[in-house]
Amino acid sequence: MITLHLHFPERTHALPILLAPGLLDRCGVALQEAGLEGPVALVSDTTVAAHYGARVRRSLEEAGFSVLEIHLPPGEGTKTLDMAAVLYRRLAQDGIGRDGLLIGLGGGVVLDLAGFVAATYMRGIAFVSIPTTLLAMVDASIGGKTGVDLPEGKNLVGAFYPPRLLLIDPIALHTLPAAEWRNGMAEVVKAALIGDPTLWQKLRGDPARWAAMPDMETLMDLLTRAIAVKIRIVEQDPLETQGEREVLNLGHTFGHAFERVSGYRVPHGEAVAAGMMAATALSARQGCLEEPRLFQDLEEVLQGLGLPTRWRAWLARYDIDTSPEDIIAAMDTDKKRRGGRLRFVLIHRPGVVRVHSDVPDEAVRQALEETAGL
Ligand SMILES: NC(=O)c1ccc[n+]([C@@H]2O[C@H](COP(=O)([O-])OP(=O)(O)OC[C@H]3O[C@@H](n4cnc5c(N)ncnc54)[C@H](O)[C@@H]3O)[C@@H](O)[C@H]2O)c1
Ligand SMILES: [Zn+2]
């Protein structure tokens, strides 16, 4: 068992993050040992519930918890205020009170929604997070952000509400579809570039090795390292007020623009992969990149994972024909545009990235031309 901690301000206790194979079957005891009590509402989506709901429920009941199970439809469409209201009413109808404990079991969609409901139901009830996708384990569950989408945009309503306990069982990834593995790996690559040169060397050493889930020891190492990077950055700027957290957006200014021009039809991980290539080209163009080989190495790592590296060729697969100008225009609405200037996270070398607010549009256009492909 590996235990990590995430410290939030104004909280007496740090958030314990437990990582261990088989934790799903021992979650009841883990909750007890963390001093958590109360009737449990176990929120999941139907796919995750079919795989793991019964096991988690059994473990909770064996530890003496009463369990109300709530299953939601899978997919981003579930992350709405309407679905939050459905959950509030189920909790109220089943008599879950302030002493209740809400557990989110699933990917980022379930955890964002369940966390938001826990933050707001009766002004806040205890929340426990059990991520089951790679993306949720290394990214969505770490950092205390919860929320739902509006028709006007993603994640527009939410709260900072860290769970009381985070349980990560890598065995859950055995059933993860290959496309979701790739999606999560895009964020692992990002974490390596932002803050773990050793992890970057491991990814770079044998790109094809990471195309599917590796052996358990390697997987535990990968998870621990990627999570540690996110913890380190979140602790510097827990409420996203000081800017340190912005480095987590490496590849995302481009990535979000790709998602927007596609009408959100492309997977997030693919957009981030193509976005990291553009961001690396921009880093070179701006004279930041100290290791010119990084561009080629990143392309090999992403290709090994089956992720796209050249945006025009990749978007063409989704029947999307767009131009650098359209992509730059799609960036203008990005929340990162402050005071009229776009902000980019540029790579200096693996482990060293910085936010730059002085990047001319022309350099962005050229970086996009350079990484278009076809
Ligand atoms: N709060 C944050 O800081 C944060 C950070 C990044 C992303 N997010 C959010 O996370 C969401 C994306 O999360 P995601 O990629 O985990 O998507 P997801 O929750 O939609 O899960 C992807 C798919 O995998 C299925 N699934 C989950 N676990 C499985 C398993 N173990 N075996 C088989 N199938 C499984 C789900 O049913 C779903 O169909 C987005 O809404 C995004 O906004 C939040
Ligand atoms: Zn992301």
pLDDT, tens digit, 9 for 90 and up, residues 68-120: 999 999 999 999 999 999 999 999 999 999 999 999 999 999 999 999 999 99
**Proximal ligand: closest to the CA of 191:** 2
Closest atom of ligand 1 to CA, residue 184: 15
The alpha carbon of 207 is separated from its chain's Cα centroid by a whole number of angstroms, namely 21
Torsion sign over Cα 312, 318, 322, 324 = negative
Give CA–CA dist 141/18, Å, rounded: 12
Q: Whose CA is nearest to atom 22 of ligand 1?
A: 107
Q: How far is the CA of 264 from the centre of ligand 2 (A)?
A: 13
Can you tell me the distance from the alpha carbon of 165 to that of 17, in angstroms, rounded to the nearest whole number?
6
For residue 62, name the pLDDT band (cuts at 50, 70, 90): very high
305-358 pLDDT, tens per residue?
999 999 999 999 999 999 999 999 999 765 545 566 789 999 999 999 999 998
Q: pLDDT digits over 34-43, tens only?
A: 999 999 999 9
Residue nearest to atom 12 of ligand 1 (CA): 108
- Of all atoms in ligand 1, which is nearest to the CA of residue 52? 31
Q: What is the pLDDT of residue 219?
A: 98
The answer to whether residues 36 and 15 touch, using CB atoms and an 8 Å cutoff, is: no
Strands 145-150 and 165-168, bridge-based pairing = unpaired
Structural domains in the chain, CATH included, are 2-175 (3.40.50.1970), 179-370 (1.20.1090.10)
**Gap from CA of 370 to ligand 1 centroid (Å):** 32
- Residue % of the chain over a pLDDT of 90: 91
Q: Which of 124, 146, 138 is nearest to 173 (CA)?
A: 138
Q: Which atom of ligand 1 is nearest to the CA of 175?
A: 32
Nearest CA owner, ligand 1 atom 30: 176
